[in-house]
Amino acid sequence: DGEMKAWDGPVSEVYSPVCFPTPEGYKRKLIGTYPICTEKEANDALDAAIAAYDNGRGEWPTMSIADRIKCMERFIFKMSEQRTLVVKLLMWEIGKSYGDSAKEFDRTIEYINATIDALKDIDRQSSRFEMAEGLIAQIRRSPLGVVLCMGPFNYPLNETFTTLIPALIMGNTILFKPPKHGTLLHYPLLRAFQESFPKGVVNTVYGRGAVVTPGLMQTGKVNVLAFIGSSKVANDLKKRHPKINRLRAVLSLDAKNAAIVTKNADLQLAVSECILGALSFNGQRCTAIKMIFVHKDVADEFLKLLSEEVSKLKFGLPWDKDVKLTPLPEPNKSELLKEMVDDAIVHGAKVINENGGTSVASFFYPAIVYPVNEKMKLYREEQFGPVIPVIPFESIEEPIEYQIDSPHGMQVSIFSNDAHEISSLIDPFVNLVSRVNINSQCQRGPDVFPFTGRKDSAEGTLSVHDALRSFSIRSLVATKMNETNKQ
Q: Is 287 in the site for ligand G3H (CB under 6 A)?
A: yes
Q: Is 155 in the site for ligand G3H (CB under 6 A)?
A: yes
**387-393 and 359-360 beta bridge pairing:** unpaired
H helical segments located in 127-255 = 158-169, 187-196, 209-218, 231-240
When the beta carbons of 290 and 295 are compared against ligand G3H, the nearer one is 290
When the beta carbons of 242 and 445 are compared against ligand G3H, the nearer one is 445
Report the distance separating Cα 370 and Cα 300, nearest Å.
11
According to DSSP, residue 399 is labeled H
* Minimum separation from the CB atom of position 353 to ligand G3H (A): 23
Q: Is 353 in the site for ligand G3H (CB under 6 A)?
A: no
* Minimum separation from the CB atom of position 252 to ligand G3H (A): 6
Site for ligand G3H in 257-286 (CB under 6 A): 285-286
Give Cα 60 to chain centroid, integer Å: 27
* Minimum separation from the CB atom of position 179 to ligand G3H (A): 11
Give Cα 223 to chain centroid, integer Å: 21
Q: Is 326 in the site for ligand G3H (CB under 6 A)?
A: no
Contact at 8 Å (CB) between 215 and 43? Answer: yes
Instruction: Choose one: 11-19, 128-136, 243-251, 437-445; the region binding ligand G3H (CB under 6 A).
Output: 437-445
When the beta carbons of 159 and 466 are compared against ligand G3H, the nearer one is 159
Which of 180, 444, 455, 465 forms a contact with ligand G3H (CB under 6 A)? 444
How many residues at the interface with ligand G3H, by CB under 6 A? 9
For 90, 101, 127, 440, 468, the CA distances from 443, given in Å and listed in that order, are 20, 17, 35, 9, 21
DSSP labels for 88-126? Answer: HHHHHHH---HHHHHHHHHHHHHHHHHHHHHHHHHHHHH
Instruction: Choose one: 39-47, 154-162, 182-190, 316-324; the region binding ligand G3H (CB under 6 A).
Output: 154-162
When the beta carbons of 213 and 287 are compared against ligand G3H, the nearer one is 287
According to DSSP, residue 281 is labeled G
Q: Is 96 in the site for ligand G3H (CB under 6 A)?
A: no
Contact at 8 Å (CB) between 213 and 96? Answer: no
Instruction: Choose one: 119-127, 152-160, 326-334, 388-396; the region binding ligand G3H (CB under 6 A).
Output: 152-160
Report the distance separating Cα 266 and Cα 451, nearest Å.
27
Residues in Cβ contact with 383 at an 8 Å cutoff, skipping those fewer than 6 apart: 283, 290, 337, 340, 389
* Minimum separation from the CB atom of position 462 to ligand G3H (A): 8
Q: Is 445 in the site for ligand G3H (CB under 6 A)?
A: yes
* Minimum separation from the CB atom of position 151 to ligand G3H (A): 10
Which of 172, 362, 443, 472 forms a contact with ligand G3H (CB under 6 A)? 443
- Beta-strand ranges (E) seen in 406-485 are 408-409, 411-415, 435-438, 454-455, 458-459, 473-480
When the beta carbons of 279 and 368 are compared against ligand G3H, the nearer one is 279
Site for ligand G3H in 34-93 (CB under 6 A): none
When the beta carbons of 161 and 393 are compared against ligand G3H, the nearer one is 161
Count Cβ neighbours within 10 Å for each residue of 46-69 and write b for 16 or more, e otherwise. bbbbbebbeeeebebbebebeebb
What residues line the site for ligand G3H (CB under 6 A)?
154-155, 159, 285-287, 443-445
